[in-house]
Amino acid sequence: MNYRALGLTGLKIAPVGFGGIPIQRLDQNNVNLIIEKLYHEGLNFIDTARGYTTSEEMIGKAMSLVGSEHFIVATKSMSRTYDEMKADIEKSLLNLKIDVIDLYQCHNVKDLDQYALIMSENGAYKALLEAKAEGKIKHIGITAHSADFMRQIIREMPFETIQFPYNIVERHGEDLFEIASKRGVGVIVMKPLAGGAIQNGTLSLKFILSNPNISVAIPGMDQLEQVVENAKVAKLDISFSQLEMDEMNEIVSTLGEAFCRRCGYCLPCPQGIDIPTQFLMEGYLTRYNLSEWAITRYEGLAVKADACVSCGSCETKCPYNLPIMRMLKNVVTQFELAQNQK
């Protein structure tokens, strides 16, 4: 295994890590087997989140059987205030059954307003700094989907890592990764399979790991076979055949017609719809097989896709010329079908 540095944290990690979203649908025994297989395959980076329902807790139980000292553990919270983040850190420690968390991240920060709240006197970052001083966490990171937002903070932010989408189709973060690398900031790649839209996982992981600015990619895994296949990629010397190059071009051509990169250029919507989030939830519903979780999250949105009045404002701003209005109608249809099948 060719381990990589996670920025300047001093942590050495396998280039492929474990994304903890999909195990929510598994039972504890299967999670135990997967975590054990990670250990035997040399994959030592685990990423989860407070918002992934039972993920933290199941990972904690599984690690206690294998030995948590074999893993570098990252989790994250959507909390934006000091009190909320302080409580979430304690909950994560309890769930994960460890005394110190290697990396704690501010989860899915969308814009400068949220960032300002996090960094304020009573913001979440203060709680993270205190937890670090107390030895409860080692390092502090941030995750986001908006390249525009990240470009506004990347050069001066105090975070030690960033987590951002990147794959064969979603390449809008490449300039961010270069800046981060020069600053010594670790780069964690989420959505390496574009939320399940890319079927050739080996090819997509090879593409990601060919970027020298990437520290680790974290595909979700809920099967032992996936752990084995992903571990093989982590051990490869990366090179591409002409056949693979042709396949990557075909993937871009196929998905590029109606694939949301979550860049946020379509916002604000006059009706208040968070458009990228609608497509994110639809992806969890149709590609991750997380129906109950996706439906709950979708129903909890203040404004859903059915509020679209087809004004077309979003489509005039989309740099990828996506048929957003049609895609929003599909979101409505997919969630209606899922609700009817319950």
* pLDDT tens digits for range 276-324: 999 989 988 987 778 899 999 999 999 999 999 999 999 998 877 889 9
SS3 assignment, position 163: strand
Q: What is the pLDDT of residue 195?
A: 76
Q: What is the pLDDT of residue 153?
A: 98
* pLDDT tens digits for range 10-60: 999 999 999 999 999 899 999 999 999 999 999 999 999 999 999 999 999
Distances (CA, A) of 229 to 5, 203, 235: 22, 11, 10
Q: What is the pLDDT of residue 265?
A: 76
Q: What are the helix (H) ranges across 184-241?
A: 201-209, 224-234
- CB 181, CB 161: distance < 8 Å: no
Q: What is the pLDDT of residue 19?
A: 96
Assigned token pair, 102: 């290697």
Q: What is the pLDDT of residue 257?
A: 66
- CB 219, CB 260: distance < 8 Å: no
What gap in Å lies between CA 40 and CA 63, rounded to an integer? 13
- CB 25, CB 36: distance < 8 Å: no
Instruction: Give the right CATH number for 4-244 from 3.20.20.100, 1.10.1200.10, 2.40.30.10, 3.40.50.450.
Output: 3.20.20.100
Q: What is the pLDDT of residue 202?
A: 95
CATH 3.20.20.100 intervals, the chain = 4-244
Q: What is the pLDDT of residue 201?
A: 93
DSSP 136: S
- CB 117, CB 123: distance < 8 Å: yes
Assigned token pair, 269: 């919507």
The helix (H) or strand (E) run that includes residue 328 is helix 324-340
Residue segments in the chain with a per-residue pLDDT below the cut of 70: 257
**CA max distance for the chain:** 55
- CB 117, CB 81: distance < 8 Å: yes
